[in-house]
Structure 1
Amino acid sequence: MKNIVFTNELNDEYYERVLESCALVPDLAQLPDRDLTEIGEKGINLSGGQKQRVSMARAVYSNRDIYLLDDPFSAVDTHVGKHLFEKTIGRNGLLKDKMRILVTNSVSILPNVDQIVVINNGYVSESGTFEELISRNGYFAEFVTEYLSQQSDNELKHEEKTNINQLRMKMKFLVNKVIYQTNGGNEWKNLMKQMLNNLREKRLNNINEENIIKNQLLFKTSGKLTETENSETCSVGLKIYTKYIHLIGLWFCAVIIGSSLASAMAQILSGLWLSEWSDDCLDSNYKNDTNVRYIRLGVYAGIGVFDTVFTFISQTFISFGCIGAAKHLHNIMLDRIIRAPISFYDTTPIGRIQNRFSRDMDSVDFSADNNNHFESICGRFSHNISNAISIDCNPSPLYIRTSRQLKRIESTTRSPIYSHFSETVSGSASIRAYGVSHQFIQECNRRIDENHMCYYPSIMASQWLAIRLELLGHCIVFLTAVFTVYYRFEFSPGIAGLAMSYALNITQSLKLLVNSTSNVETDIVSVERCFEYTETPIEAEWHNEATKLSPDWPERGEIKFSEYSTKYREGLDLVLKTITLERRWEYSNLGSFGYSVLSSSASRSMGFNM
């Protein structure tokens, strides 16, 4: 319904008249949900004639003053074309009060049009009614005569034969009228003789009526063709992490973990060393010895160099490992999508595929940047990790679960934006012709708003967490200061200063820990969505050792079908059942519908069923 009504208001009475005039009622009767049945992207499950009639119905329903019709009968059967002309375009059709400019190759309808303009070599050669042009005996009359001489009654269908015979009778009457008015009776006899001697085979362009059968098979399971993009609701499984680690490489991961731990130990050691250094002044035996100071400074510098080296190693391996994993994951996805069966593209919008290869892959590509926070966390948090976990266990898990799910929903609502953009670009000519650019802009804005409705809560959740972490951090600083003063005689000033230093940084460390954990959780959602496409069903392998061809192949140029069966996609009935064909066999019971299915099967556009 939406493809016909488009952006106009629904008028049930006029809508039914449009369906009847455009010969869509029989087609809709074959669909499970009639005019509410989902049509695939770019009308993938409609035949050429059905697409043409839906387009015509949309134009008729728009109720405009001028109609430009470019050969609307080219993809329909003769009887359907006759119905369209009589009920829609003709003098008694639904558009009888509108201006219709029709470009057509259908000669049989020319006697019923108001005015004919003949184009010859890019120029208007003559114009007038059918009777006037025939009476002039010019280029148009020659064209019609030649056309009639090329139509063989044996090759024409009943409807075509009826139309041609009517045209011949009218042509004969008009020519007789002109010839006898000019005393040229012999010319008419010669013309009729030529028409009988020059008959040759030629069929009118038409579309198979078996397309109705095709649509019945396509829609038999359900009126819904496009599969819904589901969003997971639980945490990302350990399987995804394991697969991603294998993409990075176990050796890479071992180096990253080892260097990160070494860097964290160096950061802890540097703090303890500074604490001990600051306690030197309290020692009664302390002397301001330059050598001791240089030793302290040298050790501290050595710890810093040690930390820098291992931080550089961990950062380098993280970057190369994540980039390599992203490349490998992209190549696997691309290979699976390229080799996916045609039915996958029938049920998957192009915007959904674009979303996986753009936004989700972008998150995977930059996952290394988000993971770099772990090194800075380890050094500051290793000594106090148990306290941080026990205090922070309440807000952070709730935030992480929420942000992860918001990321999934946001990714799911982004796909319709890409799909709408693709549809708008491909249908831009129709959008401008109907003057509905504003409506499409509004629809695009609506889909973007829906996406932002899922993105905005994630920002609010971050602020919600920041407030609680700030409060938690200030509480830790206050308690640390109280305990430091209370136990001032039990701790050295160096330890007290180190404790206050870590306490002052605790808020930033908490934010960094939770945000990094959340980033890992949200980024792994993109990895999860990409891994879904690595499991896309594919066609048969390029090379099969069991059916390996001999070096002398092909001995004969032939294709053999042995008990071959196929269906359009899973869940549908077979369209061909146990077909066996060999070279030089004669067969004619398939019809042109069967020929098209066999052609698709030979090119592996359709799979086979055992």
Structure 2
Amino acid sequence: IAYCSQIPWIVSGTVRDNILFGEDYNEAQYEEVLKACALDADIAQLPAGDMTELGERGINLSGGQKARLALARAAYSGAGIQLLDDPLSAVDPRVGRILFKQCIGPEGGTTRLLVTHQRQHLPGCHRVLVMRGGRVVADGSYAQLSAAGGFSAELGGGCAEAAAELDDAAYDEGITDAVTASHTAEATASDDGKGDGSSGADAEFETGKPHGRLIDAEDRATGSVESRVYADYCRYIGVTTTVFIFASLLLGQAAYLGSEYWLATWAPAADQHDPKWLYVYAILVAAVIVISLARALAFFESTFSASTLMNEQMTVRVLRAPLSFFHTNPTGRILNRFSKDQGVADDLLPQVAFDALQSIFMVLGAIVLVCIAVPWVLPTLVPLLIGFAYVRKRYITTSREVKRFDAVTRSPIYASFGATLKGLPTIRAFGAGGRFKEAFVRDLDANGAWWFAFIATARWIGFRLDAISAVMLTVASILAMAIHDKASSLYLVSPRLVGLALAHVLNLSGSMQWAVRQTAEAENNITSVERMLGYTRLRAEVPPRVAEGGGTPPAGWPGGGRLVFDGVSARYRPSLAPVLTDLTFTVEAGSSCGMVGRTGSGKSSLMLALFRLIEITGGRILVDGVDSGKIGLDALRQQLAIIPQDPVLFSGSLRSNMDPWNACADARLWQVLRQVQLAAAVRKLGGLDARMAEAGNNLSVGQRQLFCLARALLQDAHILALDEATANVDRATDALIQSALRNAVRGTDGSGRRRTLLVIAHRIDTIMDCDQLLVLSRGRLVEQGPPAELACKPEGTFARLSQAAAASET
């Protein structure tokens, strides 16, 4: 069995890896599948051909390319049964015709179950099943069902609708006339249908990267942890708090040594019953307790606040990072910083660092006392200190890098686990569970090997520190016996002070060993803070928010939503070729504008430029006369709403997904749900307070798109953008949605506000009633004007489309 899901699942790997999906490579069969799925031309444009690396979820492919890649996977498998869940919704009519004719249609020798809203292909199917309310209400050939009647809503015009598609060469001829061959080099982005903000296929490969590579290697510092990391961590803790902690450590150790000295002096005193001994000792002990509690409370409270603050800044920076950051950094890598590294900063590092600081001050206190009381012991301490320092240096040089490798190799585990969960239906359908399990185990082994290496280094230092401590204890014991009878007579030192000092000497080796261990462990764990700080310095989008210095729009802006592109050129990242070139057009306020074009024409890139998700390298975008590049991003995006091709929904209630700010009354929510034909489905789920599953999995893909449309209609935005927003719904529902959108544009939907509407669609009838039409190719505008005017343009690209659509009405 082979399965092609409605939302294509793309494996992070090369194009060839995704098509073969574990099967052996057969060149002839492979080339045949590429041609049948209309992928040969797309692959030829990629920098490394079919060995080009695809990002997570295929983020550097268009929606149509992802659908064809998933279809090619099913076709190459040669499975006897192939389940194809609406693979044609994301492609334009020409490509859909090619796919059905060469890959899906009646020829092929396998059993194919095709779920589709593309009714023009039904006459080419051997059998047609009509479903209503989860039941099969009709089963037969297209001719039989058409003759029976009663299924016109599902079957549509059939052969007549097939004529509504562009013939294989028509579109290409129009594009060739409009765009010269000199512009071919600029066609470096394949971004059609990426409502989620994914980039063009070629646009994601920088000239400085290995050929065909997309994902950056995870950054990993080397060498000792920079002093700047410690300084930044102290700043997050707070300078005042840091000074207080160190002062309390010093005072606490002084009070502790003072209490022991007082106790040693009190023991042989003749006036032991004098209350002063008890009072002073009680004060010193109380001081030790109070200072210890105060510094512990201050330390752990401040370190937790510091990790919380770093987490908040990481979150803000990641959310405001440029789009290219998410293209080159897998989700698992980001999750690793927010989970494991955050956990270390929250739990392990404070405990280890506190122990290390206390151990250091205890050792320093003991050394000071020994220097005062029995200075002849110092010669034994110097070799001890040198030995401990040497062993620590050798250990930390290795363990620090091992810890970094442990963190880096953990990221693929998160990425692999998350990707496998999302693609579980596809993996099980292809019987590839064993292969993915082996790959996951390999990632675990790689990470486990570094963890084992870290444990081994800990055992290495433990053995050597124990050996040095044993030597030190032996020497100290011999010295203690040697000076037992001579301390008072030769050196005029109080025996009680000698006893106190020697007691500290005996404990000193253990304290020094613990200090070495904990300081080394603290430096190992500080590498997590080092990685977190890297995310707090991520480059942010520009221009900044209004509160951060971005421009403030004038009062009363926007007035109506008039949109002007004035010579706009754009690219995804520096050093990449432009994906939009010198676009100039105007969309009047309260009007609708449709956009058509082949895969890679720049339609979705235009949307991304409007939202300033990609870099504008030339020209300007004006919204009601205000340059969008000179106002804060938050002010701009509050006036824009988009319904992406890949719907985005969040866990929570249906209400929170529709109205995150709880700004609308229930009556308004139900009104919008009725407009998008979701009211019945929401009631069936339990009403507005029903639970929304993760990513909206308790809704069909079409319902998710409609839900996103409802959310956008509720938003108080002047410009509404639709990127194939109704691709996964049937034509009858699509017609109702288009009616609701027309009401939204006119302000007759209950909001009282006229909106400007931008529509990307493959269905010609969806954009036929727009006020204006843009025909794009390779990032350039080749035709623009009212649809009726373009339809009458001799030899025009859109004229061919409209003539084919008119044929379906006859």
Task: Give the TM-score normalised by structure 2.
Answer: 0.63
- Report the equivalent of 1:270: 259
- How far does residue 556 in structure 1 lie from its aligned partner after superposition? 4.3
| 5+ residue gaps, structure 2 | 1-15, 172-188, 194-198, 369-380, 489-493, 619-810
Per the alignment, residue 780 of structure 2 pairs with none
Q: Which moved more, 1:81-90 or 1:401-410?
A: 81-90
Tell me the secondary structure at the aligned position of residue 609 of structure 1.
strand
> Across the two proteins, how many residue pairs are aligned to each other?
551
> What CA deviation, in whole Å up to 9, does each residue of 1:189-238 have, x standing for no partner?
xxxxxxxxxxxxxxxxxxx9985994233446341111110211111111
Q: Which residue among 422, 429, 450 is the counterpart of 1:426?
A: 422
Equivalent AA in structure 2 for residue 463 of structure 1:
R
Asked if structure 2 preserves the Cα contact closer than 8 Å seen for 1:266 and 1:379, the reply is no
Within-5 A mapping of 1:450-469: 450-469=446-465
Q: Gapped runs of 5+ residues in structure 1?
A: 163-207, 281-285
1:204 alignment counterpart: none
* One-letter identity of the residue aligned with 1:553: W
> Partners in 1 of 2:252 and 2:18 — Cα distance?
62
CA distance in 2, matches of 1:48, 1:442: 30
Q: Structure 1 residues 344 and 378, CA, compared in 2 at 3 Å: closer, same or farther?
A: same
CA distance in structure 1 between the aligned counterparts of 2:480 and 2:472, rounded to whole angstroms: 12
Separation in structure 1 between the aligned mates of residue 62 and residue 610 of structure 2, nearest angstrom: 21
Q: What does residue 660 of structure 2 align with?
A: none
Any conservation in 2 of the 1:40–1:226 contact (CA below 8 Å)? yes
Match of 1:157 in 2: 166
The residue aligned with 2:339 is 358
Query: Shift of residue 71 of structure 1?
Result: 2.8
Deviations 1:362-395 (A, max 9, x none): 1111232222212244134433277353331210
Listed as ranges, the matches of 1:428-443 within 5 Å are: 428-443=424-439
Q: Is the CA contact (8 Å cut-off) linking 1:23 and 1:53 kept in structure 2? A: yes
Alpha-carbon distance between aligned partners in 1 of 2:596 and 2:78, rounded to the nearest angstrom: 42
The separation in 1 between residues aligned to 2:150 and 2:136, in whole angstroms, is 11
- From 544, 562, 565, the equivalent of 1:541 is 544
- Relative distance call for 1:439 and 1:546 in structure 2 (3 A) is closer
Look up the match of 2:555: 551
Q: Does the 8 Å contact 2:204/2:572 carry over to 1?
A: yes
**1:416, CA displacement in angstroms?**
0.7
CA contact (8 A) 1:44 1:346 kept: yes
Greater helix fraction, Structure 1 or Structure 2: 1
Match status 1:490 vs 2:490: no
User: Aligned runs of 1:151-550 on 2, under 5 Å?
Assistant: 156-159=165-168, 211=192, 214-219=200-205, 221=207, 222-277=211-266, 280=268, 287=270, 289-292=271-274, 295-366=276-347, 367-373=349-355, 374-384=357-367, 387=382, 388-488=384-484, 489-491=486-488, 492-539=494-541, 540-543=543-546, 547-550=551-554
Q: Tell me the SS of whatever aligns to 2:19.
A: helix
What is the CA–CA distance in structure 2 between the aligned matches of 1:20 and 1:574, rounded to whole Å? 28
Judge conservation of contact 1:78–1:160 (CA < 8 Å) in 2: no
Tell me, in whole angstroms, the C-alpha distance in 1 between the residues paired with 2:603 and 2:38.
26
User: Percentage identity across aligned positions?
Assistant: 32
In structure 2, distance between residues paired with 1:117 and 1:551: 57
Question: Distance in 1 between the 2:130 and 2:481 partners?
Answer: 104
Q: Deviations over 1:519-573 (max 9, x none)?
A: 2212221111011011111112111767422223234432333443311223211
Paired residue secondary structure (2:114):
strand
Q: Does 1:69 align with 2:84?
A: yes
Q: Give deviations 1:42-76, integer Å, cap 9, x for gaps.
A: 11111122111211222223332211222332223
Give how far 1:117 is off. 3.3
Q: Report the CA distance shift for 1:269/1:5 in structure 2 as closer, same or farther (over 3 A).
A: same
Q: Shift in Å at residue 309 of structure 1?
A: 1.7
Equivalent in 27, 32, 38 of residue 23 of structure 1: 38
217-226 or 509-518: which moved more?
217-226
Which of 20, 25, 35 aligns to 1:10? It is 25
Larger Rg: 1
Does 2:577 match 1:573?
Answer: yes
Structure with the bigger percentage of strand: 2
Aligned-residue offset at 1:140 = 5.7
SS at match of 2:581: strand
Question: Per-residue deviation at 1:119?
Answer: 4.1
Instruction: Decide whether aligned partners of structure 1 residues 335 and 464 sit closer, same or farther in structure 2, where only a CA change above 3 A counts.
Output: same
Shift of 1:41: 0.7
For residue 99 of structure 1, what is the aligned residue in structure 2? 111
- CA distance 1:551–1:83, change in 2 (3 Å): closer
Deviation of 1:107 (Å): 4.2
Tell me the distance in 2 between the aligned counterparts of 1:582 and 1:133: 47
- Determine if contact 2:120/2:158 at 8 Å carries over to the other structure: no
CA contact (8 A) 1:484 1:496 kept: no
Report the aligned-residue RMSD.
3.2
Q: Displacement of 1:240 after TM fit?
A: 1.3
